Amino acid sequence: MRLLLVEDDRKAARVPKKGLEEEGFVVDVAHGGDQGEELAAVTAYDVVAVTARQSSRICRISSG
């Protein structure tokens, strides 16, 4: 399963990325909404996980 993690804080993204990979996920990390939008445009993800700071922006993007 492929997952996109959108997290501004590079340090904060390390722990969930490592844990998810240990559980068998393929994890890409975007450091901000712009990068998340770019990655989502070219890669099919099963799950997109976003921080609260990014959630309203990502929801607007996904709903058109």
Note down the domain range covering 3.
1-26
Greater confidence, 54 or 26?
Answer: 26
pLDDT at residue 63, rounded to an integer: 45
In a domain, 47, yes or no: no
pLDDT above 60 (res 56): no
pLDDT at residue 51, rounded to an integer: 79
Q: How many domains does the chain have?
A: 1
pTM here? 0.78
Which residue is it, tokens 């450091």? 31
DSSP string, 1-64: -EEEEE-S-HHHHHHHHHHHHHTT-EEEEESSHHHHHHHHHHS--SEEEE-HHHHHHHHHHHH-
Confidence of residue 62 (pLDDT cuts 50, 70, 90): low
Per residue in 13-45, pLDDT (tens digit) is 999 999 999 999 999 999 988 898 899 999 999
In a domain, 52, yes or no: no
